[in-house]
Amino acid sequence: MPKVTFITDDKSADAQDGELLREVCQKNDFTLPFGCENGLCGTCLVAIKSGAEHLSEKTPQEKETLEVLMAYEDQRLACQCKVQGGDVTFDLE
């Protein structure tokens, strides 16, 4: 079972394979804020510190929002990416 670690909270939780990062955060009371939950607002922008290869491909909506936000390559929207097959560590920066 993949493990998700949020550096800001110094907290980890197990994730189901294919589970949205947002769902893992919400179920485990991570302090990451969420707004629209549809990949439009950018509230849940996070920096993937390790395990980016264990996240789903960017959706067209996520790509568009990341472009508008001028996000860095290692940044993702937690409401749009799914944990797939391995551990992921992320932070707010």
Rounded CA-CA distance 72/60 in Å is 16
For residues 75 and 45, is the Cβ–Cβ distance under 8 A? yes
Q: What is the pTM of this model?
A: 0.94
pLDDT tens-digit profile of 29-86? 999 999 999 999 999 999 999 999 999 999 999 999 999 999 999 999 999 999 999 9
Q: Which of 47, 2, 35, 7 is nearest to 20 (CA)?
A: 2
Fold (topology level) of 3-91: Ubiquitin-like (UB roll) (3.10.20)
Question: What value does the mean pLDDT take over residues 84-90?
Answer: 96
